[in-house]
Amino acid sequence: MSDFEDRLAALDPTAGQPYEHQNLESMISRVTRQSTVTKSRVWRNFQLKMAGALGASALLTAGALTTFSSGPGLAVLAISGSNNTPAPLSAKQTYSGAMEIYEVFNFSAGPGLSTATPSSPSYELQIPANGSSEAARLATIFGVSGTPVDTNGDGSDWTVTDASGGTLNYVNTSVPEWYFSSTSTAAAASSDAASLSALPSNSSVDALAQSYVAKLGYGYGLSTPGFGSSTSSTLNTDGSTASALSTSDVSYSVLVDGISTSQQLNFSVNSNDHVVSASGPAFDVGAAQNYPLQSLQAGIAALNAAQQSRFPVASSLPTTGAGANAGASATTTTTPSGPPTVNVTLDSYSLRYATYDLTDGSTWLLPVYRYAGNATNSDATTYKSSWDELAINPSYVSVSATSTSGPTKGVVNY
């Protein structure tokens, strides 16, 4: 297991405490005795527990749809709240993929942070209109002969394969992605420690990758490349190596207007100067839309506002003496409990683009402030980190609680 895999395993919240249902056999009996219902007794009980905790007060729904007035010629960006990162008005550090750390952040602007409000346009992504045609075009570029096959029967995934072992896969996600791989004998190269020295140089790999990118014809730019090398092996049942392949690898961040997006482009090249795998996004950008940005200080205020509802906190319970002769009031307070506060001084920022799905089905690149600074824990230890906040002025943004774009991959709807 690699180092990062070991560290990820150590981070697993369930490590050492695997889940066990408190009464599994009773659950099986209960479920199989149920008749078809539209909502289960169990789920209703869970919801009632939540509703009971809220009482009769109006529900505070995260991401409620609200309407803002828009500036002249600029439509409000109706962002789907289900699948965007960073979500508007929330600190990037608070993500939902793993358990939340029991702490809240208190952000402040350091003296080095600019007081000027940046500007940066927003872009709607131009996506290839026909997945099959795009898959065929890309297959031709990578030398894969064949007709695109609708892998899942729904137009979301197209695959072109040929007898020589080349495969081109085109996936229609919100930002479509393409993948190429080759297992042909022309591409294969034996591998041992000595053959690593025969791998192409960084400049050769970069030049080869750039030649393909030019043919792809998408309108994005690329960052300075990052280089590496890797060896992948397949093993026999006795553990001996059946085959191995070493490659020189290059990766780029995809840029728009010179600003980094969250997209990556990757190429792997073997000692025969043959591309054995490559992947990247498939999009161009439309005309720039100049949505006003909020100030950097307003972005920090938004980061702080998002901290308020992360964890419940105790309120002080003052009690005062009653009656005309009470004299000095007596106040009893409980010691406030709650998460420790991490004070963060943000002293620099950079602009990045993040992809957002809108409720009308379009996908946009919107500017995001990436603040960087020093965090001080309650025990006075410090660390450097970064936090993201959507830069668009909130007057031009609305967030829906649910996505209206149809079935979500990886979720079984019922």
Partner 1 sequence: MGSRDEDRFARLVREHTPAIGNYLRRRLYPLTPDHLDDLVEETMIVVWRRLKDVPPDAELPWMIGVARNVLRNARRSKNRRSAFEATLQPVADDRSAEEYVIADTNLRDALASLNDDDREFLLLNAWDGLDTHALGSLYVISTNAAAVRLSRVQSRFRELLGAADVH
Helix-, strand-, coil-residue percentages of the chain, each rounded to 5: 20, 30, 50
Q: Using the rule CB under 8 A, which residue among 193, 224, 337, 380 binds partner 1?
A: 337
Please check whether residue 105 is in contact with residue 90, taking contact to mean a CB–CB distance below 8 angstroms.
no
Q: Residue from 116, 234, 323, 384 that binds partner 1 (CB under 8 A)?
A: 384
- Omega before residue 86 within 30° of 0, cis: yes
DSSP state of 289: B
Nearer to partner 1, 85 or 117 (CB): 85
Please report how close the Cβ of residue 155 comes to partner 1 at its closest, in angstroms: 12
8 A C-beta contact, residue 366 and residue 77: yes
Q: In whole angstroms, how close is the CB of 272 to partner 1 at the nearest point?
A: 20
Give whichever of 35 and 237 is closer to partner 1, judged by the CB atom: 35
Residue 227 engages partner 1 in binding (rule: CB under 8 A):
no
Per CB under 8 A, the list member of 56, 61, 217, 335 interacting with partner 1 is 61
Q: In angstroms, rounded to a whole number, what is the distance separating the alpha carbons of residues 254 and 283?
A: 11
Residue 98 in the binding site for partner 1 (CB under 8 A):
yes
Size of the site for partner 1 (CB under 8 A): 99
3-class state of residue 178 by DSSP = strand
Eight-class DSSP state of 54: H
Of 72 and 312, CB closest to partner 1? 312
- Calculate ∠ Cα 354-358-361, nearest 5°: 120
Tokens of 146: 């064949």
- Binders of partner 1 in range 285-314 (CB under 8 A): 308-314
Please report how close the Cβ of residue 116 comes to partner 1 at its closest, in angstroms: 26
Query: Which phi and psi (to 5°) does residue 298 adopt?
Result: -65, -35
Intra-chain end-to-end CA distance of the chain, in Å: 38
Distance CA 358, CA 398 (A): 10
- Looking at 80, 167, 247, 294, which residue binds partner 1 (CB under 8 A)? 167
Smallest gap from Cβ 69 to partner 1, in A, equals: 25
Question: Which among 114-122, 137-145, 204-212, 406-414 is the span making contact with partner 1, rule CB under 8 A?
Answer: 406-414
Q: How far is the CB of 70 from partner 1 (least distance, A)?
A: 27
Residues 256 to 275: which contact partner 1 by CB under 8 A? 262, 264, 266
Q: Which of residues 345-374 bind partner 1 (CB under 8 A)?
A: 354-355
CB 157 to partner 1: min, Å: 5
State the Cα–Cα distance between residues 264 and 250, nearest whole angstrom. 10
Closest to partner 1 by CB, 70 vs 162, is 162
Q: Which of 66, 75, 100, 112 binds partner 1 (CB under 8 A)?
A: 100
Question: Segment near partner 1 (CB under 8 A), from 122-130, 156-164, 212-220, 233-241?
Answer: 156-164
Q: Return the number of the residue (295 or 386) whose C-beta is nearest partner 1.
A: 386
Task: Detail the DSSP E strand segments found in 377-412.
Answer: 382-390, 397-400
Residues 109-148 that bind partner 1 (CB under 8 A): none
Distance CA 150, CA 338 (A): 53
Q: What are the E-state strand segments in 236-358?
A: 241-256, 259-269, 275-281, 284-285, 341-357
Are the beta carbons of 374 and 344 closer than 8 angstroms?
Answer: yes
CA 183 to CA 276: how far, in whole Å? 7
Name the one range near partner 1 by CB under 8 A: 67-75, 95-103, 122-130, 285-293.
95-103
Report the distance separating Cα 143 and Cα 182, nearest Å.
Answer: 10
Residue type, 155: G
* Selected binder of partner 1 within 124, 162, 177, 257 (CB under 8 A): 177
Segment near partner 1 (CB under 8 A), from 83-91, 117-125, 195-203, 288-296? 83-91
Q: Which two tokens stand for residue 275?
A: 């591309």
User: Residue 212 Cβ, how far from partner 1 at the closest point, in Å?
Assistant: 16
By CB under 8 A, is residue 97 in contact with partner 1?
A: yes
249 binds partner 1 (CB under 8 A): yes
Contact status: 186 vs partner 1 (CB under 8 A): no
- Determine the Cα–Cα distance for residues 322 and 3; give it in Å rounded to an integer: 64
